[in-house]
């Protein structure tokens, strides 16, 4: 076996071996009764010994987790009733409409599974804003959580009788705690009728939703919100007064909203499983769970099997992090604050980098097309280094994570700037990087090295990174997001292209030697966990190889590319079978996931991005222009491409990856722009560098 084969096999072996992490979390015990208290819009900052003593007391004795409440929603702040529907379905679904009397998302619900097991379901409390008329589904999140496929619960206490007039409260009404407690004790009595059978009780205090609605319409404020948190506290204390020994209490937020910043995580408290931290195989981030994970947790507490249609994984309980019970609450508050601080700077850095790259590329194009003399030599050098500096931003955002996670936006900015300065000093100062292309080579190499090393060691830097993914969005919690994968693929294309320009076309096979292992790192579930990279990553690297080796696209090459992609998928499946839990890839291959629904969701998200951002209409125009220059090789840029085979091959690979990415990924538009960052910068820097040589002679 030759050197390329050894490199690829070694890399794939590392991917498989990395699939063997051991989790220290233990499964919670089982119970015959589970009480869920819905706490929408409650934050970890609300859990305080002075303001909410009941919640704080329960938290110190519970397994705690931060809930990502968005769970696949495109909306910035999905509603509490939508969160209730997600808890019912165990997967991302839409909120029920006003006239719905039963779930529209299929026959399998949390309530139906409990009832089919011979158990009973109870829904208490309403989020309605008045005390007249029957409760609608949109006003009864408790019933939405507990109902079966026909919209039935065994005991429905979500009517207006649970409200009492309160002129000083939001909407003029407040939950009647005495009525809720009376109904709750009636519900507990049902356990004696069928001892040992599951009893699910869902209680909605209602006041948090009313406070949110009043604040949304300008009629409420902090006072209503504080009163709502105290209402949840009162309900939790009520539940604890009568909680049976064979019962677990789960307090969970189903929605989040924060004025003046991004919505954070919601609290999850599992009382009865012992103190600790919730550890979900679905997120693989200790302390972070999703709403579908909460659904799976309830089924696990009843010792019921989680059906294939539900995408969550029942969290275990990781050991206590400290002997101080209050420290777990502090940890949850810190995780939430750090995530919100990172999210605050995400859009400014993201859009600032893209805008700066566009401006710099336009400036470079103007300088190249004008064929300036030596008078503009310094301008060419400055623009070239500006492009290098822009390409250094993604790796700087990863290195900034290594330096710690501040809980303030100013702290995040300080670390980002500091990490960027370090990257520039490392890549620009050495003698070999005295020229812009040398500096770009250094930035590309550092980017590939840092991204791959981070993924092989758990992907902690990618977690929350600006160019990777946000756990607050609830779409991805580990591995490489589409944007992170696009950064590293584009960087490797530019890195190999620069090496070809320096050492000759014999380096063309490096696109395959290094590209295929990189795709494996991006795809294997316990590492990058991004299946789509198989399609657009392989397309990009094989296209770059064909251009660099000056080979035509024939049947043998196509079959080779397909075989390489299949091999990576097989490695991914092998690793998935060894890892903790089953990923979306394993569920899809095993027939547990709906391929049609997944593709429909990807198409809907891509169309949403297209319609929400009109400027992306320029993307196909830009790609078409680059294809024209690459094929015709006319004008100053064409001269560069005809002279620099590595630059041409990197650009061709980037275009291929961008086009295939648009067709296969749910955020393909963003992916296409990012994957072209390094190849486009390479073309511009090469053109400026060559023009500078000519101008200086």
- Calpha distance 503→500 (Å, rounded): 5
Grouping H, G, I as helix, E, B as strand and the rest as coil, residue 290 is strand
pLDDT, residue 6, reads 45
As a three-state string, the secondary structure of 383-442 is: HHHHHHHHHHHHHHHHHHHHCCCCCCHHHHHHHHHHHHHHHHHHHHCCHHHCCHHHHHHH
695 vs 280 pLDDT, higher one: 280
Which uninterrupted H or E stretch holds 278? Answer: strand 276-279
- Calpha distance 455→245 (Å, rounded): 44
411 vs 431 pLDDT, higher one: 411
Q: Mean pLDDT, to the nearest integer, of 498-527?
A: 84
Residue 449: exposure state from Cβ atoms within 10 A (0-12, 13-18, ≥19): middle
- Calpha distance 443→439 (Å, rounded): 6
Phi-psi region of 459 (alpha: psi -120 to 50; beta: other; left: phi over 0): left
Question: Greatest CA span in the chain, whole angstroms?
Answer: 96
Q: Name the pairing type of β-strands 276-279 and 63-68.
A: parallel
pLDDT, residue 163, reads 86
pLDDT, residue 620, reads 57
The length of the chain, given as a count of residues: 697
pLDDT at 218 over 50: no
- Phi and psi at residue 627, to the nearest 5°: -60, -40
- Phi and psi at residue 470, to the nearest 5°: -125, 120
pLDDT at 590 over 50: no
Cα radius of gyration (the chain): 28
- At 116-144, the pLDDT tens digits run 999 999 999 998 877 665 567 778 999 99
Q: Are 307 and 264 in contact (CB under 8 A)?
A: no
- Calpha distance 114→102 (Å, rounded): 16
Which stretch of 26-40, 408-422, 658-672 has the lowest confidence by average pLDDT? Answer: 658-672
Which stretch of 229-243, 470-484, 578-592, 660-674 has the lowest confidence by average pLDDT? Answer: 578-592
pLDDT band at 9 (very low <50, low <70, confident <90, very high): very low
Q: How many CB atoms lie within 10 A of CB 507?
A: 21
- Phi and psi at residue 165, to the nearest 5°: -60, 140
Q: Are 70 and 339 in contact (CB under 8 A)?
A: no
> Alpha-carbon torsion 521, 453, 22, 66, what sign?
negative
- Calpha distance 64→421 (Å, rounded): 38
pLDDT, residue 599, reads 53
pLDDT band at 20 (very low <50, low <70, confident <90, very high): very low
Q: Mean pLDDT, to the nearest integer, of 674-683?
A: 90
Q: Mean pLDDT, to the nearest integer, of 349-374?
A: 79
pLDDT, residue 10, reads 47
pLDDT at 4 over 50: no
Question: Domain residue spans in the chain?
Answer: 33-321, 338-696
pLDDT at 431 over 70: no
pLDDT at 433 over 50: no
pLDDT, residue 117, reads 92
pLDDT at 407 over 90: no
- At 288-309, the pLDDT tens digits run 999 999 999 999 999 999 998 8
Q: Are 135 and 98 in contact (CB under 8 A)?
A: no
Angle at 238 between CA 234 and CA 244, to 5 degrees: 150
Q: Mean pLDDT, to the nearest integer, of 96-112?
A: 88
Q: Mean pLDDT, to the nearest integer, of 423-450?
A: 82
> Which of 15-29, 328-342, 624-638, 655-669 has maximum average pLDDT?
328-342
- At 469-510, the pLDDT tens digits run 888 887 778 888 888 889 999 999 999 999 998 888 778 889
607 vs 87 pLDDT, higher one: 87
- Calpha distance 109→558 (Å, rounded): 45
- At 594-638, the pLDDT tens digits run 545 555 555 555 555 555 454 455 555 566 666 666 666 667 777
- Calpha distance 111→506 (Å, rounded): 64
Q: Mean pLDDT, to the nearest integer, of 429-451?
A: 81
Grouping H, G, I as helix, E, B as strand and the rest as coil, residue 208 is helix
Angle at 48 between CA 44 and CA 54, to 5 degrees: 105
pLDDT, residue 374, reads 53
Average model confidence (pLDDT) across the chain: 81
Q: How far is CA 472 from the centre of its chain?
A: 7
pLDDT, residue 694, reads 41
Contacts of 272 (CB under 8 A, 6+ apart): 28, 29, 31, 62, 247, 248, 249, 301
Is 33-321 CATH 3.40.718.10?
A: no
pLDDT, residue 133, reads 55
């Amino acid at each position: 076996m030759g050197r390329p084969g050894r490199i690829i096999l070694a890399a794939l072996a590392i991917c498989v071996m990395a699939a063997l992490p051991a989790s220290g979390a233990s499964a919670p015990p089982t119970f015959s009764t589970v009480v869920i208290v819905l706490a929408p819009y409650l934050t970890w900052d609300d859990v305080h010994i002075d303001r909410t003593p009941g919640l704080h007391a329960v938290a110190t004795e519970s397994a705690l987790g931060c809930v990502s409440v968005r769970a696949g929603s495109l909306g910035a702040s999905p509603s509490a009733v939508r969160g209730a529907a997600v808890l019912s379905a165990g997967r991302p679904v839409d909120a029920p409409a006003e006239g719905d009397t039963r779930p529209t998302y299929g026959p399998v619900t949390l309530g139906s599974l409990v009832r089919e097991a011979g158990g009973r379901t109870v829904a208490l409390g309403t989020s309605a804003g008045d005390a007249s008329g029957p409760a609608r589904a949109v006003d009864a999140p408790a019933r939405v959580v507990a109902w079966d496929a026909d919209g039935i619960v065994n005991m429905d206490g979500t009517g207006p009788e649970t409200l009492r007039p309160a002129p000083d409260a939001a909407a003029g009404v407040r939950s009647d705690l005495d009525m809720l407690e009376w109904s709750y004790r009636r519900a507990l009595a049902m356990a004696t009728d069928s001892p040992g059978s599951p009893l699910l009780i869902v209680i909605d205090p209602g006041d948090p939703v009313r406070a949110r609605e009043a604040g949304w319409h300008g009629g409420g404020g902090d006072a209503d919100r504080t009163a709502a948190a105290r209402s949840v506290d009162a309900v939790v204390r009520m539940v604890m007064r009568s909680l049976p020994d064979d019962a677990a209490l789960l307090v969970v937020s189903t929605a989040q909203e924060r004025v003046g910043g991004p919505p954070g995580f919601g609290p999850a408290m599992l009382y009865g499983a012992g103190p600790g931290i919730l550890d979900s195989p679905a997120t693989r981030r200790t302390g972070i769970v999703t709403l579908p994970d909460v659904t799976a947790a309830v089924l696990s507490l009843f010792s019921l099997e989680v059906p294939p249609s539900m995408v969550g994984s029942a969290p275990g309980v990781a050991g206590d992090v400290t002997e101080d019970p209050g420290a777990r609450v502090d940890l949850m508050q810190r995780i939430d604050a750090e995530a919100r601080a990172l999210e605050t700077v995400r859009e400014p850095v993201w859009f600032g980098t893209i805008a700066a790259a566009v401006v710099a590329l336009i400036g470079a194009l103007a300088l190249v097309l004008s064929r300036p003399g030596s008078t503009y030599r310094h301008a060419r050098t400055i623009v070239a280094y500006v492009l290098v500096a822009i390409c250094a931003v993604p790796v700087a955002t990863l290195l900034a994570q290594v330096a710690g996670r501040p809980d303030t936006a100013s702290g995040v900015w300080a670390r980002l700037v500091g990490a960027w300065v370090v990257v520039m000093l490392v890549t620009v100062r050495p003698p070999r990087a005295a020229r812009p292309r040398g500096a770009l080579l250094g930035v590309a190499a550092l980017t590939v090295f840092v991204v791959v090393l981070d993924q092989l060691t758990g992907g902690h830097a990618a977690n929350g990174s600006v160019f990777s993914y946000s756990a607050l969005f609830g779409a991805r919690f580990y591995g490489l997001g589409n944007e992170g994968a696009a950064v590293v693929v584009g960087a490797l294309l530019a890195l190999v292209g620069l090496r070809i320009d320096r050492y000759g076309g014999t380096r063309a096979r490096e696109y395959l030697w290094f590209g295929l292992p990189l795709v494996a790192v991006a795809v294997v579930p316990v590492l990058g966990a991004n299946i789509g990279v198989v399609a657009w990553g392989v397309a990009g690297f094989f296209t770059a190889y064909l251009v660099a080796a000056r080979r035509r696209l024939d049947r043998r090459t196509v079959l080779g590319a397909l075989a390489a992609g299949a091999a990576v998928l097989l490695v991914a499946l092998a690793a998935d079978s060894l890892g903790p839990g089953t990923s979306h890839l394993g569920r899809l291959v095993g027939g547990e996931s709906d391929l049609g629904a997944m593709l429909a969701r990807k198409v809907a998200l891509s169309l949403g991005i297209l319609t929400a951002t009109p400027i992306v209409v320029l993307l196909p125009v830009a790609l078409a222009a680059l294809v024209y220059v690459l094929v015709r090789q006319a004008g100053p840029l064409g001269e560069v491409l005809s002279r620099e085979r590595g630059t041409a091959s990197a650009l061709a690979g980037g275009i291929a990856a961008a086009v295939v990415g648009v067709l296969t990924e749910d955020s393909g538009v963003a992916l296409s722009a990012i994957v072209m960052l390094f190849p486009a910068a390479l073309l511009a820097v090469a053109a400026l560098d060559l023009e500078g040589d000519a101008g200086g002679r």
